[in-house]
Chain A
C-alpha cells in the first residue's frame, strides 16, 4: 500500500482518526446480535475506507458535492463521478475549527477539515470540481475557504424559498448552467442517451432504497437503524451500481427475515423516528445510543439518508430539456431542508412518517451551531405534540464528551415512551 502520508511517522491505520472509525464500527457490529449477513459488504467497505485508509479512487473526472442538491444524474451523465463530501469525523471537525467560528456546525467544520488535509479519508482522489449548493450560511461561506485551499468550487445557486414559481424557474436555470460548467470540465455533451443511462442507474438505486425503507415499516423491526444509516452513508462515496446490488441483496435477506418472522429488536422496543442534523459515519453516536438503549430507529428524515434517496424523478417526455427540468424539480421541490423559508413540508413529512411507520417517539438531533435546525426545533416539537407524538430534542456535536449525559437522556426518553405505550394498551 503506497500511502501518501509518508510525512507522518505512524501509518494511517494506527492513527487516532482510524481508531475513531474503528471504535464506532466495532460498536455497530459487535454490540448487536444477528446483523444481516448482507451488511458485511458495508461493514467491510467502511473498514477498508475509514480504518485502513484504502483508496476508493475512481477513474475520470471526480466531482465533490457538499449537499444533496447537486443533481448526481447530471454528473454521471457527463461521465464524471460524484462524491458527497459531508463528513462525520471528529478528527476533521477539530482541524476544521481553524476555519470556522467556535460555535458553528460540526459537519461543515469536518468537511472543511477534510478538504484542507492532505490525507483525505475516505480516499476518493483529487477532486476536479467541488459543487457547493448555496444552502445554509455556513456552507455558503465555506465556499471561499475551499477555494483558499486550492479547490475549484462551483456555487450552484439554490433559491432561499421553494414554493414560488420563480424559485422553481430560477433553480431550473441554475441547474442548466451547472450542466454548462460540467461540460467545461468533462468536455462532454449532455445527450438524451447518457442522461437516460444516468437516470436509470440512480432510479434503480432509489428503488432499492425505497424497498429497504418499506421493510422498516414492519413491526417488529427487521433491520436496525444503525445499519440503514451505514447503508445510506456508503452511497456518499461507493460505486453506485455496486451499492445498489448490495442493497438489493440486503433487501432479499430482509424479505427472507420477514417470512421467517425474525425480530431484529425487542418486540416492545420503542420505534423512533430520527430527524434533524444528519448522522454521518463515524458520527453515528446518537442512532447507536438509541438502539443500544433498547429503542429502534425505524425511519429518518435526514439528508444523509431518506431526504437524499427517497424522492424520485418523474419525466413526461424523455427529451433532454424535459429531463433536466424534471431533475431540477426533484432536487428542489420535495426537499425538506430547514434552510428554506417555509417548514410546512418538513412538518407534514414528519407527521406522515411518524404515522405510517407507527412511530412511538421522535429524536431530533441538532448540531450545535446549525442554526436552521435549532430554530425549527420549536415548531416541530409543537406540531408533533399536537399529533400526540413525543419528541426528544438533542443538541450535540461530533465530540464524544457528552456520551454519558446523552445516554441518560435517551434511556429516560425511551422509558417514558414504553410507559406511554403500556398505559395506552
Chain B
C-alpha cells in the first residue's frame, strides 16, 4: 500500500503544481523557461527531485561561464597533472560553440554500427583533459609521462589486455565489441613531479547490448564483476536496483560509486562529481570506499528543444594521496597522488516531461465523457425495440 501511496504522491504534487502554475499564469507572471500552460505541469513535476536534494548537498558552480573550468578545478585543489587538467575518457569529442546539442539514441555516440559493414560494432573513445564534461579539450600526449592502456573484454581475461594506440591520423581509441556485455578501458598515466608520483587512471565502461540476444547471456553480462584487481585506483559505479542492459540513470536518481585501490576499498578519498553543466559536488568516501551522489537536473533547454533522450555527461574524480616511496623511471619519489576518473552519462528524469496530472486528467475526462455519453444515450434514446424498460431492482 505504501508503495502505491508513494507512486501517487508525484501525481498529487503535480496536480497541486498545476493549480499553482495556472494561478500564477493568471496573475500574469511569466514562468521562466516554460512556454505555454501544458508544459508547466511537467516542468514543475520535474523540478521536484532537485528541490528534494539533501540540504548538505551544496552544489557549487565551479565551471561557470567566465572562469575556465580547468582553472576552477585547479583552484579547487585539483591535481593538474598536465596542462589540460584531469584526464578522463569520453565517448564524445569536445563540444564546440555554445549550443548544447544532445545525442539521440542509446549508445550511438562514437559508435559506428557494425551492421552496415558486416562486422561487430566499433566504439571510439577520446582521452580528454579538464573537468568540464562539455568543453574539455583532447588531452595531448606528454613526453615525460608513461601511459598504459588496458581493455577488459567481457569474455576476456579479467586482468585485461593492452589496447593498441590509435592509428596515425586518428585521435582517440577505437576497439571492436563483438560480444555482449560491458567493455572497460583503463588509461593509466604515471608522471613524476618533483618528489610526487602522480598516478591517474581514466576509466570508462561501455555497455554493448543488442535487442533480441540471448537473455541468459545478457543477464550474465550484466552481473559479471567489473573490478580490475591490479588497477592502481579505480571508480566503480554501483548498479542501480534492477538495472537492465538498457537502463539509464537519470537526473534525480541517487548514484553511488566505490573507490578501489588494487581491488580494495579506499576510505577517505576525495570524490567529486561534475555534472554536465559543470556543477561540482565533493564528498569523502566512507570505509567501504563508497560515495553517493544525487544526480542533479541541469538540463534546461527552451522547451521546444527539449529532448528526452538527451545524454548528459557526468564526470567522477576521486583522489587519494599516500606517503609511499619508490622509483619511477629510476627517479625516486616519496609521495604518490592517485587520481581516478570515471565518465558516464545520464538523461533527463521522466518527471521532467511526464505529467501524472495531465495523464489522470485526460483519462478521467475520457471516462467521464464516455460514461456520461453512454448514460445519456441509454436514458434518452427511444430507439425502436428498446424503449420498454424493466426495473432490475424490483
Contacts and interface: CB of A to CB of B under 8 A. Distances in A.
The answer to A–B direct touch (Cβ < 8 A) is yes
Contacts of A320: 390-392
| B386, B387, B388 — most chain A CB neighbours (10 Å) | B388
A180 B388 contact: yes
Contact of A319 (B386, B387, B388, B392): B392
Interface string A102-126: 0000000000000000000000000
A189 B394 contact: yes
B225 interface: no
B388 A177 contact: yes
**Interface SS majority for chain A:** helix
Interface string B372-394: 00000000000011111111101
A320 to B, nearest CB: 4
B392 A172 contact: no
Interface in B346-394: 384-392, 394
Contacts of B391: 189, 191, 320
| A176, A189, A319 — most chain B CB neighbours (10 Å) | A176
A321 B394 contact: no
Nearest to B384: A173
Contacts of A190: 390, 394
A320 B388 CA distance: 12
A47 interface: no
Interface string A56-90: 00000000000000000000000000000000000
Interface residues of B, number: 10
B388 A173 contact: yes
Contacts of A191: 390-391, 394
A179 B388 contact: yes
Interface string B32-43: 000000000000
A48 interface: no
A230 interface: no
B392 A176 contact: no
A324 B389 CA distance: 11
A173 B385 contact: yes
Contacts of A192: 392, 394
A252 to B, nearest CB: 39
Nearest to A172: B385
Contacts of A321: 389-390, 392
A324 B391 CA distance: 12
Interface string B67-82: 0000000000000000
A190 B393 CA distance: 11
Contacts of B384: 169, 173
B339 to A, nearest CB: 74
A49 B78 CA distance: 117
A170 interface: yes
B375 to A, nearest CB: 16
Nearest to B390: A320
A302 to B, nearest CB: 31
A189 B384 CA distance: 22
Interface string B177-199: 00000000000000000000000
A169 B390 CA distance: 17
Contacts of A180: 388
Contacts of B386: 173
B227 to A, nearest CB: 64
A173 B385 CA distance: 4
A169 B387 CA distance: 12
A238 to B, nearest CB: 29
Contacts of A170: 385
Given A173-B385, A180-B388, A191-B391, 12 more contacts: A169-B385, A173-B386, A179-B388, A190-B390, A190-B394, A191-B394, A192-B392, A192-B394, A320-B390, A321-B389, A321-B390, A321-B392
Interface of B: 384-392, 394
Top 6 nearest A-B pairs (CB, nearest first) are A176-B388, A173-B385, A320-B390, A169-B385, A191-B394, A189-B394
30 contacts: A169-B385, A170-B385, A172-B385, A173-B384, A173-B385, A173-B387, A173-B388, A176-B385, A176-B387, A176-B388, A177-B388, A179-B388, A179-B390, A180-B388, A189-B391, A189-B394, A190-B390, A191-B390, A191-B391, A191-B394, A192-B392, A192-B394, A319-B392, A320-B390, A320-B391, A320-B392, A321-B389, A321-B390, A321-B392, A324-B390
